[in-house]
Amino acid sequence: MDDKVKALLERVKGTANYAADAAADGARAAGKKAGQMVDVAKLNVQLFDLNGEYNDILRQLGQVMYNTHKGEVPESDEVTKLLGQADEKMGKIAELKGRISDLKQAQSCPACGVPCGKGDKFCRACGTQL
Ligand SMILES: [Zn+2]
DSSP 77-109: THHHHHHHHHHHHHHHHHHHHHHHHHHHH-EE-
pLDDT tens track for 64-118? 989 989 998 888 888 999 999 999 999 999 999 998 888 777 778 889 988 787 7
Domain boundaries, the chain: 3-116
pLDDT digits (tens, 9 = 90+) for 12-67: 566 555 555 655 665 555 555 566 667 888 999 999 999 999 999 999 999 998 99
Predicted model pTM: 0.56
- Give 90-93's long-range contacts (Cβ < 8 A, gap of 24+): 90/54, 92/50, 93/47, 93/50, 93/51, 93/54
Measured in Å, residue 102 CA sits from the centre of ligand 1 at 19
Q: How far is the CA of 26 from the centre of ligand 1 (A)?
A: 22
CATH number of 3-116: 1.10.287
Q: Give the span between the Cα atoms of 80 and 87, in whole angstroms.
A: 11
CA 95 – ligand 1 centroid, Å: 27
